Amino acid sequence: MNNYINFKDYNDYELIYLIKDGNEIALNCFFEKYEKFITKIVRSYIYYKDERFDDFVQEGRILLYECIYRYDDSSDTSFFTYFSIILKRKIIKQLQLELKENYILCEDSVIDYSNKRMPKKIEGKIFFTDELKIEIFDNCIIGNITLTSFAKMKNISYHQIYYVYQKMIEELKTIF
């Protein structure tokens, strides 16, 4: 008799729990479930006849495996959203790295540029007069604090902080 259990009706949380418990059949089912999604996302960035296409799909599979074990099921984000954002960021970052590798400056222009470049400190007071905007600029845009952490720190709802943040980004776009 075959001991195969059909996990297709299980949701992501149940499958992740089984996978973390060591169930290989659940892992195979999970990979089968996300295979088309990985291919679809990769295809949205790379033409499927490109020689790099299969490499990016394989990177997506590896990333799926890593995300299973890194995912925190107590977070507000679903696994699908968590994985799709990480996969898209990985593809974009890899494509940017490839572009940087192919971009070569001659030595003279690098030397000229480095001599003229002066370090400067940017402060939120230069661009914004509102105290909240200055704090968001200094802590979230320049600093390492996320908008969620900043909202909790200030006891303001995340949506209000996000709204102000989006307005600031629009203002900065017009300045630069």
Q: Is the pTM of this model over 0.75?
A: no
Q: What is the pLDDT of residues 87-139, one digit of tens each?
A: 988 888 888 777 664 433 343 344 444 344 344 344 544 556 678 888 888 88
The per-type count for the chain, helices as H runs and strands as E runs, is 9, 0
Predicted confidence band at 53 (pLDDT cuts at 50, 70, 90)?
confident
How far lies 33's CA from each of 40, 66, 113, in Å? 13, 16, 50
Q: What is the pLDDT of residue 2?
A: 44
Predicted confidence band at 5 (pLDDT cuts at 50, 70, 90)?
low
